[in-house]
Every structure is written in C-alpha cells, then in structure tokens.
Structure 1
Amino acid sequence: MAEEKALVGIIMGSESDMPNMEPCMKQLEEFGIPYEVKVASAHRKPAEVHEWASGAEERGMRVIVAAAGKAAHLGGVVAAYTPLPVIAVPMKTSDLGGLDSLLSMVQMPSGVPVACVAINGAKNAAILAVQMLGTGCDECRKKISDFKAKMAE
C-alpha cells in the first residue's frame, strides 16, 4: 500500500517469514490501514535495521510489527531505536516449535518493552496495531468496534 503514508511498519528477519506474515498484511488491508514491509535481520543486517527503525516515526509510522524466529531479537532491537510501540510476532521454528522465539521476545529488559502475540499470531498483531492506532484515531477505533461486532454475529 504505497499510495498512502504507512501507519504500520512490518519488519521481519527473513524472507522465509513472509508467508506467515501475510495474515497481518491482509488484515491491515481489510481495515484500510496503510503499511510498509521491510525484510532485515537484526543479526545479519543490524545497521539496516537501525536505520529503518530509527526513521520510522519520521516517515509517519505509529506502530511497528516485528516478526522473527529462533533467537528472535528483531523486536527488541527495533524497540531500542524507536519511541513507537512494537508488537513482536514469534515465528514457529523447526527446532522448538516457536517456543524459542516466544521466550526471546517476552524476556525484554526493563525500559525496552515489546508487546507479544502468539506464535505465528500475525493476524492478531494487525488487530492489536489498529487498536493502538485507535487510542488517537476515532476512525481506527470504529474499525475495531465494527470488526468485533461482526465477530459476535
């Protein structure tokens, strides 16, 4: 969704995470929320992650969703470089089924919080991002209210 300024940034550590993050992108599209996608590993491309995360607010983003597996430091590294809220999505892994990713994401040091959804919880990350946007946007809050009402039907 390049035509509008992205409100949500989606970053993932590897191109292989893309299929698992498609539900996040699809949900944001259904809500009509513009987003941008970046693939950069916290370990293999730390300077690129730093540049992307530190400039996210200036580019108009309001929430970041970070997906990673195994050591899964991406969300924490992004959170270190931005004042924006970061939602971490632990990716399922072949080694420990994603438990390694989940534990890496929820064990953040004091002062560097990262919200975390379920393993491969990309859709919930999008919903939570729009709920966060809704704290300062009546239109976003209405989209979430309508979404929840439709789920209850």
Structure 2
Amino acid sequence: MSQVGIIMGSKSDLPVMKEAAEILEELGVSFEIDIVSAHRTPEKMVDYATTARKRGLKAIIAGAGGAAHLPGMVASMTSLPVIGVPVKSRNSIDGWDSVLSILQMPGGIPVATVALDGAKNAGILAASIVSTFDDEVAANLDKYKASLKEKVLNTADELKQSGYKNI
C-alpha cells in the first residue's frame, strides 16, 4: 500500500515531479504516481482526492503549472496534507502564476507550498509527514540529513585545502 500520492496535471510536469518520486524511493517511502488534471479530468481528480485516505495515503504531492488548480482542489476534498509543487510550464508567466495559485489558498483549505519546480523538497516534506508514525522512514531521513551535513563539511575542507580557484 502506498503512503504518498504524487499527482500532476499533465505529462509535461513529469520531468519536475519525478524528483519527488526519486527522493521518496531513496528514503524508503512507498508512493503511487499518476496524471490527474483538474481541468481536463475533473471526475478523476474528485475520485482521487475523495478515496485517497481509504487507499492508505498519508500525504499527497500535487504538481501543476499555469493556473495550477490541482493542489487546491484536491486539498478541498481531503483531510490529508497536500503539498503543492508549482511547475514552470511553457504557457506560464515565468512560474509566478503557478506559485501564487498554490500559495494564495483561502482560509480553511491549506496547501503546503514548496518552491517553483521544488518537487524534491515536496518529497522530503511528505517523507517527514510519514516519519511521524514510521520509525524506518524517520531513520532514513536522519541519515539523509546527516549526509547533507557531511557533504557541506567535505566541501568546506576541500575549499580550505585547494582554494577557491580549484573547486
């Protein structure tokens, strides 16, 4: 049974949204992934959102470009946490339309919003949600964050040893 759902408005969002799948895979979080358009397949969107909890999901990551209605519409139909990923699409206004569409939700319908094209962080946030009741995922997150620290410290040591021109 999947713990996290990853949905996107169209296939063109997949290059961004696959980063959420990749980090969830790395952290040992089960997920499902699908294309669910708020505008072109509204019935599928309603079914997805209203059955998500029964299917065992603990969080939903929803990516969309342009008007970016998918995250907010899904959040309006489920009590699960929804993480919105604004996607800079070809018909986008530099991505700002997507960011603001997801960020500016009305009171009572929260959507956690990550940076433009920030699907990796959405995956990490979803894993953090899952980690509140899954000790294995919590341990994997701790290891992941420790590896980030180690990477920075190694780079700092390399800078000290080699100088800024040689890195």
Shorter chain as normaliser: what TM range?
over 0.9
Deviation string for 1:80-101 (max 9, x for gaps)? Answer: 1111000000001333221110
**Alpha-carbon offset, residue 44 of structure 1:** 1.2
Specify the alignment match of 1:76 in structure 2.
Answer: 72
Consecutive unaligned residues in structure 1, runs of 5 or more? none
Q: Distance in 1 between matches of 2:36 and 2:60?
A: 14
Aligned length: 149
**Alpha-carbon offset, residue 140 of structure 1:** 1.7
Specify the alignment match of 2:146 in structure 1.
Answer: 149
Letter matched to residue 27 of structure 2: F
Out of 22, 25, 41, the residue aligned to residue 26 of structure 1 is 22
**Alpha-carbon offset, residue 132 of structure 1:** 0.9
SS at match of 1:81: coil
CA contact (8 A) 2:28 2:137 kept: no
Specify the alignment match of 1:115 in structure 2.
Answer: 112
SS at match of 1:89: strand
Consecutive unaligned residues in structure 2, runs of 5 or more? 151-167
Whose Rg is larger? 2
* Identity value in percent: 48
* Greater than 3 Å deviation, 4+ residue runs: none
Q: Distance in 1 between matches of 2:44 and 2:89?
A: 24
Q: Distance in 2 between matches of 1:106 and 1:31?
A: 27
TM-score normalised by length of structure 2: 0.86
Q: Distance in 2 between matches of 1:88 and 1:68?
A: 8
Specify the alignment match of 2:97 in structure 1.
Answer: 100
CA contact (8 A) 2:28 2:140 kept: no
Letter matched to residue 83 of structure 2: I
Q: Distance in 1 between matches of 2:19 and 2:40?
A: 25
**Alpha-carbon offset, residue 146 of structure 1:** 0.9
